[in-house]
Amino acid sequence: MRYALLLLCFCSCTYALSKPIDLPKMGLRLCPPSGWVWEKFPTKHVFKPKDWTKEPRPTITVQAIPTEMELDSFMAADFRENIVKYEGFAPKSREQFMPGDDYDWGFNSWTYIRPDGLKMFVYRRYYELPEYVTTVTIEATEKDWARNHSLFEDFLNSIVVLVPKNKE
């Protein structure tokens, strides 16, 4: 009985990916971690764990930046020259491409120290679509990133770019 209670306690604290969510205005299909809260804003979507013991909670932010905007100013803090490019994959279907195709522009990551001394890790991936660049940003403490690395990696690997209909 103790083992079952311990197992139940352990399972309720772990996360898996939820069902896919289409964000057509962002050009992506995501599978956020189950048990995470989805906050919608006019220019971005933010996902946070509902039950988290400490602050700050890890966040996943999805944001589309119009290409007519000057991206250099947005990306200045991201050290644009340090964006890492990686090889692509074949499209899954005519309208969906997996990470790494022509739309997947690359990624970068960095750490910073908050005023309260907490060391934060940021990972940002860029998707270049015809009218905008969509960014997916994961921000977490270094410890939370290390503990949940496989969850974040599964999330990133499940992202699908929704190819615009006029691209055909």
Confidence of residue 163 (pLDDT cuts 50, 70, 90): confident
Q: Is residue 7 part of a domain?
A: no
Whole-angstrom distance, CA of residue 72 vs CA of residue 44: 19
Q: Is residue 115 part of a domain?
A: yes
- Residue 161's DSSP bridge partners are 28, 97
User: Would you call 93 helix, strand, or coil by DSSP?
Assistant: coil
Q: Is residue 139 part of a domain?
A: yes
pLDDT tens-digit series, residues 100-121: 456 667 777 888 888 888 888 8
- Looking up residue 84, the CATH number of its domain turns out to be 3.40.1000.10
- Domain around 104: 16-167
Q: Is residue 147 part of a domain?
A: yes
**Length reported for the chain:** 168
Q: Is residue 6 part of a domain?
A: no
Q: Is residue 109 part of a domain?
A: yes
Confidence of residue 14 (pLDDT cuts 50, 70, 90): low
Residues 6+ apart with CB under 8 A from 129: 27, 64, 103, 161, 164
Asked if pLDDT for residue 149 goes beyond 80, the answer is: yes
Q: How many structural domains does the chain have?
A: 1
Q: Is residue 82 part of a domain?
A: yes
Contact 110, 77 (CB under 8 A): no
Confidence of residue 99 (pLDDT cuts 50, 70, 90): very low
Q: What is the pTM of this model?
A: 0.74
Mean pLDDT of 21-31: 91
Q: What is the DSSP letter of 73?
A: H
